[in-house]
Amino acid sequence: MTALEQAAPTELFAETVWLSTRSMILLAVILTVLGIATLVGFLLSRRETMGIESAIVRRFNQKVRVWWLMTAIFVFGFLLQRIGVVILFGLVSFWALREFITMTPTRRGDHRTLFWVFFIFTPLQYVLIAFGSHPPSFVPQNDYYGLYSIMIPVYASLFIPARAAIAGDYKRFLERCAKIQAGLLICVYSLSYAPALLDLDLVRTGGEPWDGGNVSVLIFLVVIAQLASVLERGWSKLAGRHVIAEKINGSRTWEGFLGSMVTTGLIAASLAWATPFYPWEAGVMAAVVTAMACGGAMTMSAIKRDRGVTDTGTLVQGHAGVLDQIDNICFAAPVFYHLTRYFFSA
């Protein structure tokens, strides 16, 4: 391999436009859709409605406000470029993990273990994500994917029970360790794969270089994951007959899941121009995201039922906590990342 070939990936990464035209058009489409949704919600709220209909309208308007807030936060992160997005997701992970741990009470013997989880492993995961495959010149040159892909599921998972054992508290030991490990895996490790998308050298099928930037792919993931959850609820209300797991969540049905998978796939295919995927590939990726988003929502519902709580937090007024808003992304991000890395990365 020549020196030019060895330098090519780094040079390609350095020359990539941060916010490409495709990314800005996709953001404009999202803002337009949110504007229309806001107008529709306002007009519906003006109607004299009572009972369940007014509750549905109120929930719809609350969800739209949450989407506006999420969009504003993402745009702010994008203005700070790649490091800003990584920091943004790091802060979201920290807060989501806080909600998860608060929802599942700990014992005094876990406090020092939690210190390592919150202030060592969580920041370290995102530092490694920031370094990625193209680290800055002031750090050892390496592909840090090999570290951040195993740091939490291997090293942190081994450290947590060992540190908890040193504290000397053996009561409900396995349950306590498993809870901390699950929170770190879902809220930090899994979510960190979303900003890791920004580090990939993307190509289209067949090896054709992708010049649309990575930001649009990250936006694509977030939008599809959010749409999958909303459309699943919508289809479940319209055509739901067979509940997936009534004792976990009585409002989610197989008809809603399949309807969401098809509808989300069609929407994703229409947005394929913003990604390195061809329309049928975008549809397949959306189907995978929908399946993982449904799995994430069901998992968090099961945890909340077990703990006897309705929401993971109250940061977003009127619409649950941060973890409730991103559970779909947490479960979809690592699968989406690895499929993209394997099939659409140089």
Q: Which residues contact 295 (CB under 8 A, 6 or more apart)?
A: 331
pLDDT of residue 225: 95
Count other Cβ atoms within 10 Å, centred on residue 45.
13
pLDDT of residue 235: 92
Contact 202, 344 (CB under 8 A): yes
User: 3-state DSSP call for residue 310?
Assistant: coil
- What are the tokens at 308? 């006897």
pLDDT of residue 218: 95
For residue 343, pLDDT beyond 50: yes
Query: What is the percentage of the chain residues whose pLDDT exceeds 90?
Result: 55
Same domain? 131 vs 206: no
Same domain? 242 vs 317: yes
For residue 135, pLDDT beyond 70: yes
Residue that finishes a domain, picked among 199, 233, 264: 199
Same domain? 248 vs 326: yes
pLDDT of residue 15: 40
Residue 233 covered by a domain? yes
CA 304 – CA 300 distance, rounded (Å): 6
For residue 346, pLDDT beyond 70: yes
Region 113-125 average pLDDT: 96
Q: Which stretch, 39-43, 133-137, 201-205, 319-323, has highest mean pLDDT?
A: 201-205
pLDDT tens readout for residues 82-111:
899 999 999 999 999 999 998 887 888 899
Same domain? 213 vs 331: yes
Same domain? 73 vs 105: no
Same domain? 68 vs 213: yes
For residue 9, pLDDT beyond 60: no
In which band, very low, low, confident or very high, does the pLDDT at 118 lie, cut at 50, 70 and 90? very high
Residue 45 covered by a domain? yes
Residue 37 covered by a domain? yes
For residue 249, pLDDT beyond 90: no
Same domain? 272 vs 175: no
The size of the chain, in residues, is: 346
Residue 230 covered by a domain? yes
Residue that finishes a domain, picked among 199, 218, 235: 199
Same domain? 102 vs 55: no
Residue 338 covered by a domain? yes
For the chain, the average pLDDT equals 87
Residue 285 covered by a domain? yes
Region 218-246 average pLDDT: 91
Number of domains in the chain: 2
Same domain? 236 vs 343: yes
Range of lowest pLDDT (7-21, 147-161, 332-346): 7-21
Same domain? 211 vs 185: no
In which band, very low, low, confident or very high, does the pLDDT at 61 lie, cut at 50, 70 and 90? confident
Same domain? 124 vs 209: no
165 is in which domain, residue-wise? 84-199
Contact 155, 181 (CB under 8 A): no
DSSP assignment of 162-226 equals HHHHHTT--TTHHHHHHHHHHHHIIIIIITTHHHHGGG--BB-TTS-B--S-SHHHHHHHHHHHH
Report which of 252, 248, 260 is spatially closest to residue 291, judged by C-alpha positions. 260
Residue that finishes a domain, picked among 199, 234, 256: 199
Residue 118 covered by a domain? yes
- What are the tokens at 169? 């508290």
pLDDT tens readout for residues 289-338:
999 999 999 999 999 888 887 776 655 555 568 888 899 999 999 999 99
Residue 3 covered by a domain? no
Report which of 312, 327, 301 is spatially closest to residue 229, judged by C-alpha positions. 327
User: H helices of 212-321, where?
Assistant: 215-239, 254-270, 279-307
Same domain? 167 vs 216: no
